[in-house]
Amino acid sequence: MSLAAVLIVKNEADHLEACLNSVRWVDEIVVVDAGSQDTTCEIAKRHTDRVMVEDDWKGFGIQRQRAERLVSSDWILMIDADERVTPTLAASIQAAIRANQPAIYTLPRLSFCFGRYIRHSGWYPDRVARLYPRGLAGYDDAMVHEKLANPEGLPVKPLVGDLLHYTYRDMRHYLEKSAHYAQAWAEQRAARGKRAGLAEGILHGVGCFLRMYLLKAGFLDGRQGLLLALLSAHSTFAKYADLWVRTRTTAPSGDRETG
Instruction: Count other C-beta atoms under 10 Å from residue 107's C-beta.
Output: 26
CA distances in angstroms from 190 to 6, 130, 185, listed in the order given: 31, 29, 9
Question: What local confidence, expressed as pLDDT, does residue 86 receive?
Answer: 98
3-166 placed in CATH 3.90.550.10:
yes
Overall average pLDDT of the 186-211 stretch: 93
256 has pLDDT over 80: no
| DSSP assigned state of 219 | G
If one compares 249 and 141, the residue with the highest pLDDT of the two is 141
In angstroms, the CA 85 to CA 115 distance is 20
CB 138 within 8 A of CB 65: yes
Lowest mean pLDDT among 40-54, 66-80, 171-185, 222-236: 171-185
Q: Which amino acid is located at 173 in the chain? A: H
pLDDT tens-digit map of 19-46: 999 999 999 999 999 999 999 999 999 9
CB 149 within 8 A of CB 68: no
What pTM was estimated for this model as a whole?
0.84
- Assign 252 a pLDDT band (cuts: 50, 70, 90): low
Overall average pLDDT of the 66-86 stretch: 98
Question: What local confidence, expressed as pLDDT, does residue 254 receive?
Answer: 57
- Assign 255 a pLDDT band (cuts: 50, 70, 90): low
CB 31 within 8 A of CB 52: yes
Question: What local confidence, expressed as pLDDT, does residue 169 receive?
Answer: 84
Domain boundaries defined on the chain: 3-166, 171-248
Which DSSP helix (H) or strand (E) runs through 203?
helix 198-210
In angstroms, the CA 224 to CA 229 distance is 9
CB 130 within 8 A of CB 157: no
- Assign 259 a pLDDT band (cuts: 50, 70, 90): very low
211 has pLDDT over 90: yes
For residue 125, say if its preceding peptide bond is cis, omega within 30 degrees of 0. Answer: yes
In angstroms, the CA 148 to CA 67 distance is 13
54 has pLDDT over 60: yes
Burial track 13-27 (b if 16+ CB lie within 10 A, e otherwise): bebbbebbebbeebe
pLDDT tens-digit map of 108-155: 999 999 999 999 999 999 999 999 999 999 999 998 889 999 999 999
Question: What local confidence, expressed as pLDDT, does residue 181 receive?
Answer: 87
CB 63 within 8 A of CB 141: no
Q: What is the DSSP string of 57-105?
A: ---HHHHHHHHHHT--SSEEEE--TTEEE-HHHHHHHHHHHHHT---EE
